[in-house]
Structure 1
Amino acid sequence: MTIHKEGYTSIAIVVLVIFVANALVHYFIADNTVVVWAVYVLSFLLLITILQFFRSPKRRIKTDENLILCPADGKVVVIEETEESEYFCDRRLQVSIFMSPVNVHVNRNPVSGIVSFFRYHPGKYLVAWHPKSSTLNERTSIAVRTSSGREVLFRQIAGAMARRIVWYVQEGAEVKQGEEFGFIKFGSRVDVFLPLGTQVDVKIGDKVSGGLTVLGRFA
């Protein structure tokens, strides 16, 4: 288990806050054992929480051009046919994964290919499961065209707690299935838009793992 590079600054700030808080407690109320130990416990819990959030587990990912891998850890909350109006402008099969603060927040490419479309949109911070979060929240939209000509679009959506979406791809770049394409800090969601007829291998409520769980199979 390693710590993701996106967590270095946040962890440093938390460690500094813990150090200052403990120093103040010792200076002003060192004789109150109950308060001192309460601060110790809260400091420990805060540090463990921030470390587990930015964890980046090593994963052995098997690539397959006929499969669509899950782009994120979390829970499947949407599987439906919908109109994708930003890039495809037609009907697509949408699968959405909600990422809670306790999930790994690394985002991985569901397929290999060339990035045929990329857009970043600043926006609001509605809760990630809000119906309008996919069009109003801060988000990125990334489409990848596979070697067989199929295209998959996936969208990072910031949640109520998230204030920063990070991406590592750009239009025209070649990406590999299972490799990192981004990171979202704290609770968030990832939507995947698949061609109609794609076989979906998950169901609503399933717990999934980025790069390991097979989301679906091309027809």
Structure 2
Amino acid sequence: MKHIVVLSGAGISAESGIKTFRDADGLWEGHDVMEVATPQGFAANPELVLNFYNQRRAQLNTVTPNKAHIGLAELEKDFKVSIITQNVDDLHERAGSTDVTHLHGELLKARSTFDETDIKTWKTDLNLGDLCKQGYQMRPHIVWFGEDVPMMDKAIKICETADVLIIIGTSMQVYPAASLMHYTPENTDTYFIDPKPNMVSSKNITVIAEPATVGVLKLTNILKQP
């Protein structure tokens, strides 16, 4: 069975109503990203940061997976599919995908500020005074700017076994995530789905210049051809 590896980013969830991580003005939902997505921002104003992610968590409960998420999940009927996502939402899982690696953390989890391996499912508001078992403040389980990406080694190993690579909803400009495509075997068939593609088509890269929902449908038809 062919192994399809998917690298997904904010563009796939944007069609469900989740705003992309950073707008053109450098703001995320009206906030400077340095205030809400760095360890320094959390240290300076933890309540602001907790409230910011509480709002993101509440918003996540109002949206549903779109046809792109569902289409990728349905590929599991015919292929082994591994999804490596930069997104912190759970829309891939809710669509039915069973093998999802979150590079940048998960919005519906929280972890201890003392022990980063102490991670808990967290679907409600996270507030000052919510402590881990050692008595330290819990924080969003999000990889902030300047922090290591703990799932990177796992993601590299997944890419090394790809027969087909799908890049969708990401400009492949954010490192280290952007380096993952270079870990696939030589001559891996690669598909790049983006309405405004910035990747040059080459021998092994097929560009599908469509939004995620349209592009996944087109790609599914291509992959199912004998």
Q: TM-score, structure 2 length as denominator?
A: 0.25
Q: TM-score, normalised by structure 1?
A: 0.25
- More strand by proportion, 1 or 2? 1
Structure number, greater radius of gyration:
1
